[in-house]
Amino acid sequence: MFGLVDCNNFYASCERLFRPDLREKPVVVLSNNDGCVIARSNEAKKLNIPMGAVAFKFKQMFKENNVHVFSSNYPLYGDMSERVMNILSQYTPDIEIYSIDEAFLQFNGYEKHFELRQHCLEMKQKVEQWTSIPISIGLAETKALSKIANRVAKKFPKQTKGVHIIDTEEKRVKALKWIEIGDVWGIGGRYARKLRSININTAYDFTQLHPQWVKKNMTVVGLRLHRDLNGHKTLRLDEEVKEKKNIATTRSFAKDLENYDDVRERVSTFAVECAKKLRKQNSYCGYVIVFLSTNRHKSQDKQYSRSIVITLPYASNINHDLNTYAICGLSRIFKKGYKYKRAGVIVGNITPMRSKQLTFFDNQKENMQSLMGAVDRINTRYHKDIIKMATQNPARTWVMRQERLSPNYTTRLTDILKVR
C-alpha cells in the first residue's frame, strides 16, 4: 500500500505553533514581497479568501475580519517540515519526501502485523503531539489513488478522522466519481479544459478513456496516471534524494527598476546566490541563464521580456565566474527605456564536483575553492552575506518587502521563545 501524508494548511499551521492565541482564528501567509496569499487556515478559507488573492486588494477585508497576516518565513517552515518527515520515517523505512509538506510512504508486508488504518491514526497523532502540525493521510494501492484518498480524508475530517483508505473496488469507484477532473494530481488547467470539452468531468470518466487516446493527447505522463488510477501500479516510490538539475534564484522587485546598474546589482546577487546553492550540494554548473522582464500586469507600460543562455568555458560554482558570465548575459539583453519588475539567474547542466571535466585551458585555480569555503563559513556565521562581490553594492540594501515576518522560533537562538 501507498500512503500520502499531507500537512494541513502547512504554512498557516506553522505560524500558529508559537501563537496559541491564533488557534481557531483566520490566518493567511503571503508570498515573497508580500504579494499574494499562498496559505490559508480553515477559518480563512471559510471567509472565502481565495488562493493567490492579491494582498493589497484584500487589505481592508483582512482588517474587517481580523485576519492575521504573515510574510513567508521559510527557515521556520523548512525546519518544521524536517521534524514532521523525521517522525514519519519512524513508521516505515520507505518514504519519498515529495515536497515541503507532503510525503509518500510505502507499507510492504504490514498487513501481517498491523491494521494499517490504525497504524496511520497513531502516526498522525504522534506528528500532532510532537509538532502541533495537523496532517491528513490517504492510503491506496497506487500513488495516484493514495493522492485521491488523501483528498477524501481532508474533505471529510469528521467521518475519516483524517485517514482514508481505498482498499476495495467499490471505494475506488466512489472516490473517482466524487473527484472533479481538475482536482486530479497530474491534470492541470490545460488538460482539465480539454477533457471537459469532451465531457470528461470526473476522475472516473478519465479512467474510462481509451489508453491510446490518453497516450496520443497527454503523452506517456498521462498514460501512467491513467494506469495508476485504474489500479495498475505504475508510478513508483522515489526514495533517492537527487541532485538538482537546475537551480534558480529569481525575484520580483519591490519597485520598478529602469537603470542598468540597479538591475545589474540584482543579477549579481542572484548569480552569487546560485553559486552558493551549487556549493551546498557539491556541484558545478555548465551554463547560466539570465532573464529579465517588465511588469506584465501593467498593460499600459511597454512590455519587454528576454532571456539568454551563457555556456561557461568550464564547469564552475565560483562566485566570481557565475557573476561575470551572468552580467555578461545581462549586458546583452538589457534595453534602456523599460520599467523592469523581475529578473533571475538559473544555472543548469549541473555536474557533481567529484567528476569535474577539465579543459585544455581556462581551468580555474585550485585555491578558489578554499576561498569560497572561507566566504561561506564567514557568511554563515554572521547570518547575512557580509562578504559580497563588488558588483553587489553594499550601500544598497535591497530588502524584500516582509512587513509581517514571524520570528525564526526554531532555527535562531535569539528568536527562541521566552517563558517567564
Partner DNA sequence: TCTGGGGTCCTAGGACCC
Query: Is 9 an interacting residue with respect to DNA (CB under 7 A)?
Result: no
**Residue among 16 and 154 whose Cβ is closer to DNA:** 154
- Bridge partners, residue 293, by sequence: 305, 342
Taking the C-alpha atoms of residue 290 and residue 311, their distance in angstroms, rounded to an integer, is 11
Restricting to residues 72-101, name those near DNA by CB under 7 A. 98-101
CB 140 within 8 A of CB 229: no
**Residue among 8 and 132 whose Cβ is closer to DNA:** 8
Would you give the binding string for DNA spanning residues 217-256, x where CB under 7 A is met?
Answer: --xxx--------------------x-xxxxxxxxx-xxx
Nearest distance from C-beta of residue 130 to DNA, angstroms? 21
What lies within 8 Å, CB to CB, of 207 at 6+ separation is: 176, 226, 229, 230
CB 166 within 8 A of CB 140: yes
- CA-wise closest residue to 355 among 228, 202, 253, 243: 243
Restricting to residues 113-152, name those near DNA by CB under 7 A. 147
Strand ranges in 231-367 using DSSP code E only, listed in sequence order: 247-257, 283-294, 305-316, 340-348, 351-352
Query: Is 191 an interacting residue with respect to DNA (CB under 7 A)?
Result: yes
Restricting to residues 17-76, name those near DNA by CB under 7 A. 31-33, 35-36, 38, 52, 54-56
Taking the C-alpha atoms of residue 316 and residue 353, their distance in angstroms, rounded to an integer, is 9
Query: Is 196 an interacting residue with respect to DNA (CB under 7 A)?
Result: no
CB 91 within 8 A of CB 119: yes
Restricting to residues 335-374, name those near DNA by CB under 7 A. 341-342, 344, 346
End-to-end CA gap in the chain: 48
Nearest distance from C-beta of residue 103 to DNA, angstroms? 10
Query: Is 295 an interacting residue with respect to DNA (CB under 7 A)?
Result: yes
Query: Is 187 an interacting residue with respect to DNA (CB under 7 A)?
Result: yes
**Residue among 55 and 116 whose Cβ is closer to DNA:** 55
CB 14 within 8 A of CB 72: no
**Residue among 80 and 187 whose Cβ is closer to DNA:** 187
Collapse the DSSP code of 248 into the 3-class scheme (helix H, G, I; strand E, B; otherwise coil) and give the result.
Answer: strand
Interface residues toward DNA, by CB under 7 A: 31-33, 35-36, 38, 52, 54-56, 98-102, 147, 184-192, 219-221, 242, 244-252, 254-256, 277, 295, 297-298, 309, 311, 341-342, 344, 346
